[in-house]
Structure 1
């Protein structure tokens, strides 16, 4: 099992969230849980390599991708980058933990422990209190990994029928350097960055949906990958 910390300053966090529509909570997980989840994700070999393929979400096996020729990899990069020039695009690795667990797929029990963590009574109660919305009924969840060259362009997470109240990101890479990129950026009406959050180890970012945000390009000189547990706080029933 993985465990949250305790004794959060809930009232102060709620005030900050209501004022800015985003809040970062440090030391969110118990130290051993944060270290264990990071080691678990870092040791995963199989991920989906996710990107936007002409308007539709696409996943390919990262292990298969590693076996491609240099020409094949270059072709995929060209497709991703050409679409990114004039439209929405993303390129990163993911593991659909919510799908694994809600549909009963056989997977490592540690995925189930992550699913149970973000759907536990303490987690959901804390999120409802911070966000100020008691209608939140569950959290979906995925693992993400941004390697060198990965990014997520500006979008707002607003999807009809998903009933998303807020998004959350639990950052899990120790000693991340802001110069490596991977910054969670938020945008104002004139397209200026109004706030940028470095993926600080064992901090959770919670932010209102819909809201324009992005994850900046991870630089070629980054010494580590940007690991996180992410998802949305949602109303209604698990589907």
Structure 2
């Protein structure tokens, strides 16, 4: 897979102003050049090497999948029975993940190429310009798939020692409807939803850490999966304590 490219139509100065005006949150449509997002979507849609990761209702597990079912049929019941405890204040989640690795001379696929692209001078420079933050040195990433019933409850992305500056979501779901859930929502100090974005194909969502947010549960009647690549923009230098009195996160 050749290198991915930022869209040449992006107005970095305008995006930087919008990032500040939005309270250090930003939605960037059309982030990748034409054709590049299509290649990533095709890989994620065809992928069978997912793992379901669960931290919900006192259950903690990660199980390899064969497509949409447990690779080991004897463990399918573990996935079928996983459920969020609605009374718990802890962060809980159920969704599928796929590891991304560096291409190593072009050996990877279009999803792996995203990891290289996120750590390229072009993207790091873009991220620094938009946020006004020169501490950004690198990005980590994983592919995620939310199927009906999958969810990520309220959390703030703080993880001691990880030096996370900004969270991001690269969306690869086409024609997603808000009714299907899987929406990225942000909470205000009063507990109400302050802002939110519906998954949009080839769009980047970017927000400062810590920010209290969640991915709403994907509805049982959603006709497709929510596909994305997610992670954090990080510093190589310790950034000190981050706290807003948010709920405990895993």
Q: Which residue of 2 aligns with 1:101?
A: 102
Q: Residue 229 of structure 1: SS of its match in structure 2? A: strand
Following the alignment from structure 2 to structure 1, what is the Cα–Cα distance between the partners of residues 84 and 198?
A: 24
Runs of 5+ in structure 1 lacking a partner? none
Following the alignment from structure 2 to structure 1, what is the Cα–Cα distance between the partners of residues 60 and 158?
A: 15
Post-superposition CA distance 1:137-195 (Å, at most 9, x none): 11111111101110100000011100011011111011111111110000000110000
Q: Residue 25 of structure 1: SS of its match in structure 2? A: strand
Q: Is the 8 A contact 1:80 1:89 kept in 2?
A: no
Offset, 1:108: 3.4
CA shift in 2, pair 1:118/1:179, >3 Å: same
Following the alignment from structure 2 to structure 1, what is the Cα–Cα distance between the partners of residues 150 and 128?
A: 32
Q: Which residue of 1 aligns with 2:6?
A: 4
Residue 90 of structure 1 pairs with residue 79 of structure 2: no
What TM-score results when the alignment is normalised by the length of structure 2? 0.84
Higher helix share: 1
Q: Residue 18 of structure 1: SS of its match in structure 2? A: helix
Offset, 1:216: 0.4
Offset, 1:77: 4.4
CA shift in 2, pair 1:226/1:89, >3 Å: same
Residue 23 of structure 1 pairs with residue 8 of structure 2: no
Q: Which residue of 1 aligns with 2:243?
A: none
- The number of aligned residues is 230
Residue 36 of structure 1 pairs with residue 39 of structure 2: yes
Q: Please, what is the CA RMSD of the aligned residues? A: 2.4
Q: Is the 8 A contact 1:88 1:153 kept in 2?
A: yes
Offset, 1:212: 0.3
Q: Which residue of 2 aligns with 1:196?
A: 196
Offset, 1:101: 3.1
Q: Is the 8 A contact 1:52 1:80 kept in 2?
A: no
Residue 121 of structure 1 pairs with residue 107 of structure 2: no
Following the alignment from structure 1 to structure 2, what is the Cα–Cα distance between the partners of residues 58 and 114?
A: 26
CA shift in 2, pair 1:56/1:80, >3 Å: closer
Q: Residue 55 of structure 2: SS of its match in structure 1? A: strand
Alignment of 1:26-175 (within 5 A): 26-52=29-55, 58-63=61-66, 65=70, 68=73, 73-82=76-85, 84-86=86-88, 87-97=90-100, 100-101=101-102, 108-175=108-175
What TM-score results when the alignment is normalised by the length of structure 1? 0.88
